[in-house]
Amino acid sequence: MTEIKIPDAIATSLVTSSAYASNEIFDAYAWLRANNPLGVAQVEGFDPFWVVTKHADILEVSRNNALFPSAVRATTLTNQDADQRARAITGTPHLVRSLVQMDEPDHMKYRLLTQAWFMPQSVKKREADIRALAKEATAHFVSLPGQCDFVKDVALHYPLKVVMNILGVPSEDLPRMLRLTQELFGASDPDTQRFQAALTTEQYVQLMMAVLQDFTDYFGAISADRRANPRDDLATLLANAEIDGAPLPPFVATGYYTIVATAGHDTTSSSTACAMWALATVPGLLDRLRADPALIPNFIEEAIRWATPVKTFMRSASADTELRGRQIKAGDWLMLCYASGNRDEEVFPRADSFDIDRTPNRQLAFGMGAHLCLGQHLARMEMRILYEELLPKLKSVRLAGEPRMTESYFVNGLKALPIKFELA
């Protein structure tokens, strides 16, 4: 039987943010799938954790939220020091309490508040607004002098405008929202890490409490406005929502706003940029899509698989159990490696190739089970609409430099995509 412990070098790569900015992490995943698909990583400074790399096992854990809950331990990989710091701020392993950090019965109560809002028929009502934003983004792209950084010029801003439009954040506050989300979730950035590592626990707690308070104050003001002046936006729904006959507690309301604002932005930006990367590097792909726009949904689905912006989430075991013939104990921590599941050779032939003819495309980028991403239909729609607007304008595209990835083992994607292009 394969030794349960993962080799030190591979275990270290799993907790090293820079590994996710190169093929190093995919090499590690490939080795694990072939040699130790469910092993334990033991890295100094971190609690040991199981590493789940196969598509089938990720599905099994994701679909059994009672056995593998989210609320007990941190849902994103954190070292022991960061765990202590979070507990010093909130009294829990979580800096915010959103749907991601909830189990039953709370999870479904809070999910149902907005679930109907994100269903396909509801999202479709927003199509005209989203298309107007896509036309605006395309017009900006067309105005550029035949080359650009597609991330900074298009992919970063278009999804942010879409999600803030739905949330009800005024356009003049977009820079503030971008800054706040980066301050709260940008801890994997090397400069941020170095800065935070130099702080005492007390200083770090004060810093993060200030950021959380800024979030709470901002959305508190929006909530107060929407109670007095309701509109057709998500902020109005949340401001007037009740759980068990009472308004949302401020900590939970902040978590709800935060997850919508951040999950609806960073992840879709990454997939949107990855789609353009494919157009610039896969021979014949642009011509096929221009000739047959009906292929765009397949193209979007494959871009989402290829990007898998949320690389990992953590779960814990609520009871002793068995997975892939291995004994998992109550309290054990598990890392679900979605990007590995989306390259699993048993599910995706030629898994490392970008292929818009995959049918079915059983990608796991949106998760599965009770925590399946609420915004999946919105993400697909806004990407589809953008490329419906952009592709007819694009005659050719190629890389104009080296694409660069963010350094993060949580949400990770392109941070620079230099391209040269010709307009049709």
- C-alpha angle 375/20/374, rounded to 5°? 10
Cα–Cα dist 424/412, whole Å: 32
Mean pLDDT to the nearest integer, 119-130: 93
Read off the amino acid at residue 403: P
Return the CA Rg of the chain.
Answer: 21
Buried b vs exposed e over 46-57: b needs ≥16 C-beta within 10 Å? Answer: bbebbbbbbbeb
Is the whole model's pTM more than 0.75, yes or no? yes
Task: Please say whether the beta carbons of 395 and 424 come within 8 A.
Answer: yes
Q: Does the structure show a pLDDT above 80 at 263?
A: no
SS3 114: helix
**What number is the average pLDDT over the span 208-231?**
87
Q: Please, which residues have CB within 8 angstroms of residue 257's CB and are 6 or more apart in sequence? A: 167, 215, 219, 222, 235, 238
Winning range, highest mean pLDDT, from 105-109, 156-160, 407-411, 414-418 = 414-418
Count the Cβ atoms, other than its own, within 10 Å of residue 317: 21
CA quadruple 174, 179, 182, 183: dihedral, nearest 10: -140
Which residue intervals of 295-369 are DSSP H helices? 296-307, 338-341
In degrees rounded to 5, what are phi and psi of residue 207?
-60, -50
Please tell me the distance from the alpha carbon of residue 267 to that of residue 290, in angstroms, as a whole number: 25
189 versus 84: the higher-pLDDT residue is 84
What is the rounded distance in angstroms from the CA atom of residue 253 to the CA atom of residue 394? 42
Tokens describing residue 355: 């292929």
Architecture of 8-423 per CATH?
Orthogonal Bundle (1.10)
Strand pairing of 246-247 and 404-405? unpaired
Least confident stretch, 64-68, 110-114, 345-349:
110-114
**DSSP symbol at 283:** T
Lowest mean pLDDT among 106-110, 249-253, 328-332, 353-357: 249-253
Q: State yes or no: pLDDT of 326 exceeds 60.
A: yes
Domain ranges of the chain: 8-423
- Please give the pLDDT value at position 141: 98
Judge residue 224's burial from the number of C-beta atoms within 10 Å of its C-beta, 0-12 exposed, 13-18 middle, 19 or more buried: exposed
Whole-angstrom Cα distance, residue 19 to residue 235? 37
Predicted pLDDT of residue 151? 96
Q: Please count the other Cβ atoms lying within 10 Å of the Cβ belonging to residue 30.
A: 18
Q: How far apart are CA 309 and CA 107, in angstroms?
A: 23
35, 101, 157, 162, 169 from 235: Cα distances, Å: 48, 21, 20, 14, 8
- Taking Cα atoms as reference points, which of 187, 403, 169 lies closest to residue 276? 403
Residue-wise pLDDT for 150-200, tens only, equals 999 999 899 989 988 888 888 888 888 777 766 665 544 554 455 555 666
Region 79-106: what's the mean pLDDT?
Answer: 85
Q: Is the peptide bond before 360 cis (omega within 30 degrees of 0)?
A: yes
Average pLDDT, the chain: 91
Q: Rounded distance, CA 365 to CA 310, Å?
A: 7
- Is 255 a residue whose pLDDT tops 90? no
Cis before 37? omega within 30: no
Q: Rounded distance, CA 193 to CA 166, Å?
A: 32
